[in-house]
Structure 1
Amino acid sequence: MIIYLDLNIFDRIEKIDFLEGSDKDEYLQLLDLISNDNIDLPYSNAHLNDLLRGWKKNPNYINGHLTNIQKLTKDLCICQYWGQKNVWWHKRDIFDFFNSKKDDLDIFDETLDEMFDFGLGNNSPIHLTKKVPLPYEWVSKIKKDKFAQLMFPATIQQSSLYSLFADLYSFQIRLKSDYSFYKVFKAQLSKYISSLKNNKDAINYIRKNDQAPNHLKLDFFSIIDAYKPKSEIKENDNELYYMVIETFYKFDLQGYKTDANFNNMFDDGLHTFYASHCDVFITNDERCKYKAEKTFEKLNINTLVIKSNEIDKISDLIT
């Protein structure tokens, strides 16, 4: 049996000596369960993503976290590497993997200027786009939209193609780093999606393209699926990866058990993807548990999602 643990479970096991009463008994039972020779316990780059955020705040405890995970997993790693069609199951030293991810932190440029500079400064060709104006009508419209004012500040002031590129580049960075901005963006996106329910043209379009019977209630997923960009899955892409992450995010957008932090939400989706390759996913994160269960249900994935105090559901399955 393969069991995938959320980081919150690894963390509690690491602190097991400091737990008391029923909490300690609960995790001692779990530790005994996962120590069974018939249990495989992997870690993933999603765990490392979680740890990197903690390392940025306080690096003093990282070695203890890594040592604990290494001891429990024996360096068994599951990872979806870019350009690979399937996940890799392999042995990889968790310290080595973590350090390689730390090295990658500095490769992302903070601004469009940095990204296209290449040592050329103002002579970089990207600056030619500053001379290309944007349509006056479009700029006038976004000036009146409150969220557009947050999303396109430079565009509104400068009205150039360069400023639009710069705002879009900054936008994707802010979604990951500015929690309040992500919260506003998600609320606005949900508002726009929900508003389509009252649009007769939208409803007819969705029903026509989805071939859904007219008596069926139009739901959140139908709206998103009908209006999302038609992205092409490349030959070397893992289709399951996109399906799980996308489905997980859709449930997050619905607003119930939602996450205000984009990075947390994405990594929970990534944990869910890796858990889909395992028999059991154990997490005490209520938001992640709910969306993982709903994602597996929608995609007909048989992974069982439980909390740490529900191991009786699988104890009898282990011989």
Structure 2
Amino acid sequence: MKLYIDWNVLNGIKNGRFQEFEEIIRQSEKFVIVYSTSHISDIASSYSDEKENPNIQSDLEFLAEITDCMCVFNNGKDIVLQQNEPFHIFENEIESKNLTEDFSFNNIFSVLDDNGENAEMIAPLKTMMQSFPLDNIFKEAFENPQSAEIMDSMFPGLKDNPTFEGLFNAMGKMLENLNEKEGYKDLKTPFKHLNVNQGKLTNPNNNPFDVLNDAYKKLGIKESPLQKDYYEKGKNAPIWFDDITSAYISLDMHGFHSDEVKVTETKKKTFKNTTQDSFHTAFASTCDFYITNDKKNYQKAKAIFKDKNIFTHVLKADEFINFYKENLEKVDFIASWNKFEQIAKSGKFYDISDKNNPDDLNQVHFSTFNYFGYFNRIYLFNSDEDKNSISFMFGKELPTNCLGVFYKEIKEMVKIIVDYLGTDSNDKGYFDESEIDENNHWNGRIWDFEKIQYRLVQDKRYFQFYYELNINNQNN
């Protein structure tokens, strides 16, 4: 099971809180804890060139230790999961931070010609771009009463200097206002004119996206801004990643459990916090669980995952403890098999068979309990060749944006089965990574008995456990 845990909870563990939660997640045979570049941004937010940063080194060391350096990140095209040292990512974060702190037309060209060797080539380009006019779309947006207020908030000064120089400088001011000051408040202001009933918007029985779309329709706006793409999705990240982050920021801007915007000498809550939380939420969709104690992040993540049918559990730390005790703690073979027999006798299966073939049996049971510490689906079907042959297949609904399954995740599950059934028909016992071939394929296991057969197989990135029996043999 992959866990994505927000930094507030991880930092709490580091400082001696969440002890019961820590004891559970520290079971490396059961859980893989993943961090992302957004965790590094959270840690780097307290960094300063002007003072010592004693906590950052220990924060990075703790993050590396508890996650075994397993990092999910955006490489500019795809979201990938691999081992990566937090220290290296932190260094890149600081370099990027230094560049964006003075994002202006002159500074960009200073970076392009850092050593002064390309001055003759860069100077004419700089002169040309200084006065090069922008597309009319910007002019029209400033002249349109419906968008002028937002444009002034987003691009301060651009209206008076509609050139590439003006655009770079406006973007620099916008980034400073949003990420370092309280400019996000101004960006939210126009959306207050919707006059959305907050009780209706935050009612857990309502879909907040539907509530907001209805509010726009009442204003005569047929195409809600929630449904528009303001940038080319999929250009610098997978479309699914952009969809989640865009939905997250839209909910926050429209008042759904909005983040506080406040900058003081001791605390800085700006747009950057919201964007990083949107990234956390998107990264978390690659894992089985997203654990966050941030109440507003929790609500937005749950709403988005529900709306987009994303199969990742969003839980607070104490909720995860309860989930674990009910569905993951007692998963030995006997406990799992007893639970399975209860379900089999109850008949709580959904029919998914082909209606044109009445002899076919094809049903599924959905579960929150994880059989053998892994499976959460049970399929019941018969053979096309022999209708008296019945199979139960234990399967797993993977996270919606799963980036792959680690053999480490099934190692404990194999142990549970071997401890009860013994070595398989080929006299193999506990799982060993040497069983994986050069194509990253695993042949699985078979246990043959007189009237029944158990099979543990790999099908691409899925793992399944079959319990097969013949009805006629069972009646003999």
- TM interval, short-chain normalised: 0.7 to 0.9
Q: Which residue of 2 aligns with 1:48?
A: 40
Change (3 A) 1:131 1:282: closer
Q: CA deviation at 1:14?
A: 0.7
Tell me by how many angstroms 1:315 deviates.
Answer: 3.0
Find the counterpart in structure 2 of residue 93 from structure 1.
85
The letter of the residue matching 2:185 is K
What does 1:120-139 correspond to in 2, within 5 Å? 120=119, 123-128=123-128, 131=131
Match of 2:74 in 1: 80
CA RMSD of aligned residues (A): 3.3
Q: Compared with structure 1, are the counterparts of its residues 230 and 106 closer, same or farther at alpha carbon in structure 2 (3 Å cutoff)?
A: closer
Aligned to 2:53: 59
Which one-letter code corresponds to 2:182 in the other structure? S
Residue 10 of structure 1: aligned partner = 10
Range with bigger deviation, 99-108 or 38-47: 99-108
Distance 1:188 1:178, change over 3 A: farther
Kindly state the Cα deviation for residue 101 of structure 1 after the two structures are TM-superposed: 2.4
Cα shift at 1:173: 1.5
Can you give the 5+ residue segments of structure 1 that lack an aligned partner in the other structure? 17-23, 207-222
2:313 alignment partner, one of 304, 312, 319: 304
**CA-CA distance at 1:233 after TM superposition:** 3.4
Q: 1:127 to 1:139 in 2, by over 3 A?
A: farther
Q: CA deviation at 1:245?
A: 0.8
Q: Distance in 1 between matches of 2:191 and 2:126?
A: 30
Match of 2:282 in 1: 273
- The corresponding residue for 2:106 is 113
What is the distance in 1 between the residues matched to 2:152 and 2:245?
29
Matched-pair contact (CA < 8 Å) for 1:190–1:253: no
How many pairs were matched up?
285
Q: Which moved more, 1:119-128 or 1:183-192?
A: 119-128
Report the equivalent of 2:179: 177
Does the 8 Å CA contact 1:139/1:156 hold for their aligned counterparts?
no
**Residues 36 and 283 in structure 2, CA contact (< 8 A), matched pair in contact too:** yes
**SS of aligned partner of 2:32:** coil
Give the letter aligned to residue 224 of structure 1: P
More moved, 126-135 vs 300-309: 126-135
> What residue number does 1:213 align with?
none
Alignment partner, residue 31 of structure 2: 39
Shift of residue 225 of structure 1?
4.0
1:104 and 1:132 mapped to 2: Cα distance?
27
User: Do the aligned partners of residues 281 and 233 (structure 1) sit closer, same or farther apart at CA in structure 2, a change above 3 Å counting?
Assistant: closer
Q: 1:227 to 1:133 in 2, by over 3 A?
A: same
Separation (CA, whole Å) in 1 of partners of 2:309 and 2:72: 21
Judged with a 3 Å threshold, the aligned counterparts in structure 2 of structure 1 residues 182 and 237 are, in CA distance, closer, same or farther, namely: closer
Q: Cα–Cα, structure 1 residues 165 and 315, in superposed 2: closer, same or farther, change >3 Å?
A: same
Distance 1:226 1:68 in 2: 41
For 1:127 and 1:52, locate their aligned partners in 2 and report how far apart those are by CA, in whole Å. Answer: 36
The answer for unaligned runs of 5 or more in structure 2 is 195-211, 262-269, 332-476
2:2 and 2:289 in contact (8 A); partners too = yes
SS at match of 1:256: coil
Which 10-residue stretch deviates more, 108-117 or 38-47? 108-117
User: Percent same amino acid at aligned positions?
Assistant: 20
Q: Give, in whole Å, the separation in 1 of the partners of 2:239 and 2:295.
A: 27
TM-score (normalizing by structure 2): 0.53
Distance 1:91 1:152 in 2: 39
Q: Which amino acid counterpart does residue 188 of structure 2 have in structure 1?
A: K
Q: What code does the residue aligned with 1:258 have?
A: S
- Greater RCO, 1 or 2 (C-alpha within 8 Å, sep 6+): 1
Question: Measured at CA, do residues 282 and 60 of structure 1 come closer, stay the same or move farther in structure 2, by a change above 3 Å?
Answer: same
Deviation at 1:187, TM superposition (A): 1.9
Q: Is the 8 A contact 1:152 1:164 kept in 2?
A: no
- TM-superposed deviation, 1:142: 8.7
Say which SS state the counterpart of residue 43 (structure 1) adopts. strand
Higher helix share: 1
Shift of 1:160: 4.9
Q: Secondary structure at the match of 1:125?
A: helix
Give me the TM-score of the superposition, normalised by structure 1. Answer: 0.76
Higher mean C-alpha displacement, 188-197 vs 307-316? 188-197
- Kindly provide the CA deviation profile for residues 185-212 of structure 1, in whole angstroms up to 9, marking residues without a partner as x: 1222554799854443x33xx3xxxxxx
Shift in CA distance, 163/107, structure 1 to aligned 2, threshold 3 Å: closer
The one-letter code matched in structure 1 to 2:42 is: D
